[in-house]
Structure 1
Amino acid sequence: MHPRPQLSGNSKTLRLIRAGFCHDCLYLSVCCFQMLRFLLKKPHRTAGAAVALLSVIAAAGDFASSSPPSDHTSGLGFPSQHQFVGSTAPPTDADKDDCKCGKGCLSKNSIANAASVVSPAVVNISISQGGFGRGIGSGTIIDPDGTILTCAHVVADFHNGKAYNKGNVTVMLQDGRNFEGRVVNADHHSDVAIVKIKSNTPLPSARFGNSATLRPGDWVVALGCPLSLQNTITAGIVSCVNRKGSDLGFEGVGREFIQTDCAINQGNSGGPLVNLDGEIVGMNVMKVMAADGLSFAVPIDIVAKIMEHFRKRGKVMRPWLGLKMLDLNAMIISQLKERDQKFPDVDWGVLVPMVIPGSPGDRAGFRANDVVVSFDGKPVESINEIVHIMGDRVGVPLRAVVVRRGNKYVNLTVVPEEAKSS
């Protein structure tokens, strides 16, 4: 083969050629350009040669228009989707690396890379129960000092709101080392627990991400030790970012889960759910029996709040108002107004369909069908906003503004009590 011509880059014509042809056909375009320049300097050449050259240039144009775009740009210079698995295109150096088109883009190595970041910190947790059997679960080292995040139901039993260790805890790392574990904290309601192990050397750990940024359809990776099989990795997408516990039959204080279609089995509980950046965005807690493709995780933002409660006072402090609440939207408001013409003229707020007798809300003067539009001086449109405003302020008076039938505005003061564990 002849060596490819060197481009000086000084010619305006050459720059136009670079702009007009993709890299794959640039060599052909330069050859045509140089041949055309040679013919123009030799007027005695036949017209047939020029016609033949123009045919070659036309063929080059057809080649450029029919060739598939490169891995990262389309024919118009915009990012394009990557080729599907099974493509017959020869591998390139770019194929060996992650996608270069931006953060969050899925390439063939994205899932493997995310898993490799977290895998060393994923552990197997086993519980010896007086020689009568062993409970199996998973966990994640979240601090090099040996702090492990796992599910409360893996390591503890609960009675009258108090946690009791199930038995002796043994933690096995991916490198085969075994450690005796100690249950430091466990919260029944959130199903979050902290186990501690002692090591003479720093341990591999994983970092927290932000579950609030998750969207339905985002790729996630679940890791754990299901059925005692260490280093098991499954992948899927987020199906719902805020699946309410009431939708799953859980009563009491509201809980929310991340729903995914990752394969989760017995022993996955406590393992991490991570995004493509290798950050923990959830803790796997359960799957729905006889319902393939449904698994759930506690959002890592909630886990972080629980851990902050552990750090401050050794337990989780949850304010309780004794109000059943419902987020309002335009459709619900329209239906309620059809049923009751005196329903308040509101565009947003939180409906209180029921007040528990004798509760803090009842003593404060809340009534069924009140619409809360302000809480502690802040406008509210969702239950989560009210929960966030309360935080851990048990026994602290909080002002609420409610709207009642006939558009009557009422100011109330409620003093939350500590919720009882159930």
Structure 2
Amino acid sequence: MAFRLLAAFRRGVSPFSSKYQTYPVYKPCGFSKYSRKRFGKVATSVVLLAAASIGALWPERSNEIAVNLSPQLHCFLKDLWQKKIEYNYQSATLTDISTSVDWCRRFIIDKLRTSSQYLNSFQADSQNGVDTGPDSKYLTRSSIADAAAKVAPAVVNLTMTQGHMGLFLGRSTGSGTIINSNGIILTNAHVIADLTSGGVAHKGKITVTLQDGRSFEGKVINADFQTDIAIIKIYTNSPLPVAKLGSSSKLRAGDWVIALGSPLFLHNTVTAGIVSCVDRKSSELGLGGRSEYLQTDCPLNEGNSGGPLVNLDGEVVGVNTLKLPGADGMAFAIPIDSAIKIVQQFNKHGRVVRPWLGMKMLDLNELIVSQLKERDPSFPDVVEGVLVPQVVPGSPADRAGIRTGDVVIQFDGKPIKSVKQIVEMLGDNVGVAFKIVVKRASNLQVTLTIVPEEISPNF
């Protein structure tokens, strides 16, 4: 066994893997070849042979060499490797190898014994799915299940039943998340109603079903169709599970996320994927407005709408809202940061207040500026900012004196890098004066005052 392991590790297996696997080599001799390697394969082989001799390693199958490392031995070997222990096997013999293996065996046993308290804690944490170190970012076998279990009790199925004079006319389904112990449920506006030319057409009586089987009648509190956010409420004296809200601003492309909901009336369904993009613009999807979406590859179907998108901490980071027809692996969610702002406006104003400036805005960066200066040498010398390519006549921007071609470099006293910054600074402030600094052709800098108006709901 020892010779087979040694021969296998001559093939250059990395000591950083938690599982070493290679196929048998039938020439266990030839130690002279090790004289060319100062440490790498030989020292690793010696340490692993010693570990095998105390039962810390074992072969999985007889037709291949597959070695499993316990978490604590994996950490130990990595630490040993980093210390760059070196051996000189210029004149290595079988006796030398045996002596070195025996020394490493005793060293490992002593290391494990003196660290037993830490290792026991490490094992317990590993079994419980707890992060076992400050640098540990591994996805364990239970990471997704644990995260889903945290939020699942607060995920509800919404069934809308339509009827007239006792006649059943149809039903539709969606999902939602309980975000308040008072029974407030966050979902999509299109789940509970349709926006038609004649106004809002509700889809019928709403039945809210919890994971534990309890059912309630839901009442629509408010809805905003531009952002596709709605809140409904259920009334009960019994305690309700509440989902923990996270922050979508912390997400990065490549992060694992989980989608929960009731696709196709199948309650308590969990799917998983990664974040593909954190700021997919609505204009890129052929939609109006200035909304941004989280793009994921979580499988979604009809009925997932309104359900939560969850991170591995079990926190809601988005509201699943749509997928493109015929595009597998492309789903979109409203960032939870945006959704909460809408809910806050519901509570404050009873509606969503949207300030309007009356000008188109485009983000600038160094490369775009360079291209624009090639076309027009008088373009202002800026590295970043927001370009105004169009101003609506009679709008607040027009009355403030903003011109087509201006570059906004400051808004409300703060440097500007993106349109998103301006939108966030505006918030729900209507009729409030803001100082705006723009640069014009030939680097003329002008300070203006702009007073936003509330945009018409039908705009």
Matched-pair contact (CA < 8 Å) for 1:127–1:167 = yes
Task: Provide the secondary structure at the position in 2 that maps to 1:185.
Answer: strand
User: Structure 1 pair 60/286, CA: closer, same or farther in 2 (3 Å)?
Assistant: farther
Percent identity of paired positions between Structure 1 and Structure 2? 54
Compare relative contact order (CA 8 Å, sep 6+) and give the higher one, 1 or 2. Answer: 1
- Which moved further from structure 2: 275-284 or 200-209? 200-209
**Whole-angstrom distance in 2 between the partners of 1:24 and 1:421:** 74
Of 94, 108, 115, which residue of structure 1 is paired with 2:141?
Answer: 108
Partner of residue 380, structure 2 = 344
Q: CA deviation at 1:145?
A: 2.0
**Whole-angstrom distance in 1 between the partners of 2:210 and 2:309:** 18
**Whole-angstrom distance in 1 between the partners of 2:390 and 2:398:** 10
**Whole-angstrom distance in 1 between the partners of 2:316 and 2:382:** 39
Partner of residue 287, structure 2 = 250
For residues 322-366 of structure 1, what are the alpha-carbon distances to aligned partners after superposition, in whole Å with 9 as ceiling and x for unaligned? 111111111111111111111100111101111122222122222
Of 281, 302, 305, which residue of structure 1 is paired with 2:317?
Answer: 281
**Whole-angstrom distance in 1 between the partners of 2:406 and 2:197:** 33
Aligned length: 356
Q: CA deviation at 1:25?
A: 2.7
**Whole-angstrom distance in 2 between the partners of 1:183 and 1:388:** 27
For residues 234-269 of structure 1, what are the alpha-carbon distances to aligned partners after superposition, in whole Å with 9 as ceiling and x for unaligned? 1000011011111111223x1000000100111100
Matched-pair contact (CA < 8 Å) for 1:163–1:187 = no
Alignment of 1:150-299 (within 5 A): 150-158=187-195, 163-252=200-289, 254-299=290-335
Q: CA deviation at 1:94?
A: 6.3
Matched-pair contact (CA < 8 Å) for 1:323–1:355 = yes
Matched-pair contact (CA < 8 Å) for 1:113–1:278 = yes
**Whole-angstrom distance in 2 between the partners of 1:112 and 1:397:** 50
- The amino acid that maps onto 1:408 is L
Alignment of 1:309-328 (within 5 A): 309-328=345-364
Alignment of 1:272-421 (within 5 A): 272-421=308-457
User: Structure 1 pair 260/23, CA: closer, same or farther in 2 (3 Å)?
Assistant: farther
Which stretches of structure 1, 4 residues or longer, exceed 6 Å deviation after superposition? 20-24, 61-64
Q: CA deviation at 1:166?
A: 2.7
**Whole-angstrom distance in 2 between the partners of 1:143 and 1:396:** 32
TM-score of the aligned structures, taking structure 2 as reference length: 0.73
Give the RMSD, CA atoms, in angstroms. Answer: 2.7
Of 87, 99, 106, which residue of structure 2 is paired with 1:57?
Answer: 99
Partner of residue 174, structure 2 = 137
Matched-pair contact (CA < 8 Å) for 1:161–1:421 = no
User: Structure 1 pair 419/213, CA: closer, same or farther in 2 (3 Å)?
Assistant: same
User: Structure 1 pair 53/139, CA: closer, same or farther in 2 (3 Å)?
Assistant: same
User: Structure 1 pair 96/395, CA: closer, same or farther in 2 (3 Å)?
Assistant: same
Task: Provide the secondary structure at the position in 2 that maps to 1:293.
Answer: coil
Q: Does 1:127 align with 2:160?
A: yes
**Whole-angstrom distance in 2 between the partners of 1:24 and 1:171:** 61
Matched-pair contact (CA < 8 Å) for 2:50–2:104 = no
User: Structure 1 pair 379/404, CA: closer, same or farther in 2 (3 Å)?
Assistant: same
Q: CA deviation at 1:21?
A: 6.3
User: Structure 1 pair 413/267, CA: closer, same or farther in 2 (3 Å)?
Assistant: same
Matched-pair contact (CA < 8 Å) for 1:188–1:421 = no
Any unmatched runs of 5+ in structure 1? 1-19, 30-50, 65-69, 71-91
**Whole-angstrom distance in 2 between the partners of 1:359 and 1:107:** 55
Task: Provide the secondary structure at the position in 2 that maps to 1:343.
Answer: coil
**Whole-angstrom distance in 1 between the partners of 2:347 and 2:381:** 44
**Whole-angstrom distance in 1 between the partners of 2:54 and 2:99:** 8
Partner of residue 73, structure 1 = none
Matched-pair contact (CA < 8 Å) for 1:25–1:60 = no
TM-score of the aligned structures, taking structure 1 as reference length: 0.79
User: Structure 1 pair 334/63, CA: closer, same or farther in 2 (3 Å)?
Assistant: farther
Matched-pair contact (CA < 8 Å) for 2:260–2:268 = yes
- The amino acid that maps onto 1:385 is Q
Q: Does 1:25 align with 2:58?
A: no
Task: Provide the secondary structure at the position in 2 that maps to 1:58.
Answer: helix
